[in-house]
């Protein structure tokens, strides 16, 4: 429970992905009533995850009230209790002493932290697993932790374009070289032709899924010992077993937890040993043109900006582009949800859930998880209620985005028709020479190159012709951008003859 219901829904998404049935509420008073009703129905709750800071009755008051109900016989026993707080954990220890709290987690709660708490308290019934202070991954933490990995080549197998860009931005910000395969078959071909320090493998892909791709990659002599790490939102025991049986070495959760992924890469690439101690240096993230828009984005309900930007390696401009791009596709997604055949809905729900989770859109990710659950329970029946709810979230999100963070307006058609100055032409040609390779390799540097080109070309006769190229680059549609760029370059070259 959390008085910010969106935060409760985020945790519910995680629990649903692990097939844990759960319910949400926004106050301790309501939670007490639900605990009583569950007991009366013969299905008492085994686990309570509660925020610490809440109005009327806080998390500690709730714990005390639960103990009173047990003492009176209104509840059979004290359920496993996990406390969530945004305050520093060392400041809370005195308050927690003497209370039956199994784990304390820091906000924002990462999937790996919650899973570790559950496996340590619910299933193994170990002692208190209070998460160490600073457990939540930060930009500075993972940049420092990734130092031994810099320069290593990673193959990323992922079919979702948004997820590709999120993972690529994160890995490149940590200093790794990334090659992207769009499906399992492409991953197999790239593994045969390249030497990679590790392979990150999505489980659900077209052409060939991650499990079959792993089996075939293991048959390549040069790849027999290459670490293959699964990336999946499914982390139940049977999912883990399937990964290991296929030949994978490890798995990490989705959406990406930077600290968890860096830890897995270090473990399996032989760089797990701690580097020599160095002076602590805090990485200062420079100001961004997107900062004002991101501040307005905080007004949009159910958006976890901080964790999403961390997953993207601190690239705030990239995050703003991706979330604006998602908002621009909301109407199209609503249409697909209402018109696609029932057999195609699971793939769409899975795809949208992954995008929403990576973009910090917690309410929609939760709604997608509910849609997936409904389809699994009744695969022959179209889940009209779950589809309607998700469509309502998409429409509301799109409307809020238009009101608070609209896509930057197009450059006016009344642009001047001046030619480029000689010094500007030289820089333009240099950037145009470099941009194709950046697009082919899907490097984030392409965004800066394109921004610079747009800036130089503004007010010239090349401003409007370049607009299509820049639009594709801004939305990370690199293949389309490459085609438009070839046409633009041909026009530039023809004018110089």
Structure-token match 């759960």, residue found: 22
> Phi and psi of 418, rounded to 5°?
-70, 150
Tokens representing 42?
A: 């013969």
Under 8 Å between Cβ of 117 and 103: yes
* Res 134: pLDDT: 32
* Res 133: pLDDT: 29
Query: Are domains 139-268 and 300-404 of this chain identical in fold?
Result: no
Q: Which of 94, 59, 63, 61 is nearest to 79 (CA)?
A: 63
Residue 159: strand, helix, or coil? coil
> Phi and psi of 178, rounded to 5°?
-120, 130
Q: What would the CATH number be for the domain defined by 139-268?
A: 3.40.50.2300
Residue 390: strand, helix, or coil? helix
Residue 34: strand, helix, or coil? helix
* Res 137: pLDDT: 38
How far out from the chain centre does Cα 71 lie? 43
CA distance 38 to 473: 52
Q: Which of 432, 445, 448 is nearest to 482 (CA)?
A: 432
Strand partners, 104: 83
Which H or E element spans position 47? strand 47-51
Structure-token match 């010094």, residue found: 423
Domain ranges across the chain: 5-123, 139-268, 300-404, 422-496
Domain 300-404 has CATH 1.10.10: no
Structure-token match 């697993």, residue found: 129
Residue 235: strand, helix, or coil? coil
Question: How many CB atoms within 10 Å of residue 229?
Answer: 20
Q: Say how many residues make up the chain.
A: 497
Under 8 Å between Cβ of 97 and 104: no
CA distance 14 to 12: 5
C-alpha distance across the termini of the chain, in Å: 69
CA distance 63 to 408: 48
* Res 136: pLDDT: 35
List, for the chain, all residue ranges whose pLDDT scores fall below the cut of 70.
6, 17-18, 86-94, 107-108, 110-113, 116, 119-144, 234-236, 271-289, 406-419, 444, 464, 471, 474-476
* Res 318: pLDDT: 77
> Phi and psi of 36, rounded to 5°?
-65, -45
Under 8 Å between Cβ of 258 and 312: no
**How far is the CA of 236 from the CAs of 18, 118, 133, 337, in angstroms?**
6, 12, 27, 28
Contacts of 465 (CB under 8 A, 6+ apart): 488, 491
Contacts of 240 (CB under 8 A, 6+ apart): 251
Strand partners, 153: 177
For the segment(s) 5-123, the CATH number from 3.40.50.2300, 3.40.718.10, 3.30.300.20, 1.10.3470.10 is: 3.40.50.2300
* Res 285: pLDDT: 45
Contacts of 150 (CB under 8 A, 6+ apart): 174, 175, 176
User: DSSP E strands: which ranges in 203-360?
Assistant: 228-232, 250-253
* Res 229: pLDDT: 95
Strand partners, 81: 48
């Amino acid at each position: 429970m959390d008085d910010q219901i969106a935060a409760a829904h985020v945790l519910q998404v995680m629990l649903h992905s692990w097939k844990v049935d759960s319910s949400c509420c926004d106050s301790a008073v309501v939670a007490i009533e639900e605990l009583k009703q569950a007991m009366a129905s013969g299905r008492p709750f085994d686990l309570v995850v509660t925020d610490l800071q809440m109005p009327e009755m806080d998390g500690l008051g709730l714990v005390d009230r639960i103990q009173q109900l047990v003492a009176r016989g209104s509840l059979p026993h004290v359920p496993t209790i996990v406390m969530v707080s945004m305050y520093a954990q060392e400041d809370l220890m005195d308050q927690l002493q003497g209370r039956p709290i199994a784990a304390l987690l820091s906000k924002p709660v990462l999937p790996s932290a919650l899973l570790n708490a559950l496996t340590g308290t619910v299933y193994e019934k170990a002692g208190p697993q209070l998460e160490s202070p600073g457990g939540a991954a930060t930009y500075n933490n993972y940049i420092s932790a990734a130092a031994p990995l810099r320069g290593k080549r990673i193959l990323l197998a992922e079919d979702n374009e948004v997820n590709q860009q999120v993972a690529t931005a994160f890995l490149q910000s940590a200093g790794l070289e990334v090659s992207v395969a769009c499906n399992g078959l492409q991953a197999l071909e790239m593994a045969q032709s390249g030497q990679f320090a590790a392979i990150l493998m999505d489980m659900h892909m077209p052409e060939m899924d991650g499990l079959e791709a792993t089996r075939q990659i293991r048959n390549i002599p040069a790849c027999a010992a290459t670490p293959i790490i699964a990336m999946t939102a499914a982390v139940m025991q049977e999912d883990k077993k399937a990964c290991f049986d296929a030949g994978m070495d490890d798995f990490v959760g989705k959406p990406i937890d930077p600290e968890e992924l860096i830890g897995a890469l270090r473990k399996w690439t032989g760089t797990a040993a701690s580097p020599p101690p160095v002076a602590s240096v805090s990485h200062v993230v420079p100001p961004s043109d997107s900062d004002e828009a991101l501040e307005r984005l905080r007004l949009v309900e159910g958006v976890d900006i901080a964790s999403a930007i961390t997953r993207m390696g601190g690239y705030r401009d990239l995050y703003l582009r991706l979330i604006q791009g998602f908002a621009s596709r909301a109407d199209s997604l609503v249409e697909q949800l209402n018109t696609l055949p029932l057999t195609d809905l699971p793939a769409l729900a899975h795809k949208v859930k992954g995008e929403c989770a990576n973009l910090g859109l917690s309410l929609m990710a939760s709604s997608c998880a509910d849609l997936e659950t409904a389809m699994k329970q009744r695969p022959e029946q179209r889940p009209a209620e779950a589809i309607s709810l998700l469509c309502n979230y998409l429409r509301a999100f799109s409307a809020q985005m238009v009101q608070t963070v609209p896509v930057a307006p197009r450059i006016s058609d009344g642009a001047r028709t001046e030619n480029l100055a000689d010094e500007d032409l030289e820089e333009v040609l240099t950037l145009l020479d470099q941009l194709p390779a950046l697009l082919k390799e899907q490097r984030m540097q392409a965004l800066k190159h394109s921004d610079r080109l747009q800036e130089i070309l503004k007010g010239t006769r090349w401003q409007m012709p370049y607009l299509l190229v820049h639009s594709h680059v801004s939305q990370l549609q690199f293949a389309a951008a490459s085609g438009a760029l070839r046409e633009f370059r041909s026009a530039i070259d023809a004018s110089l003859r």
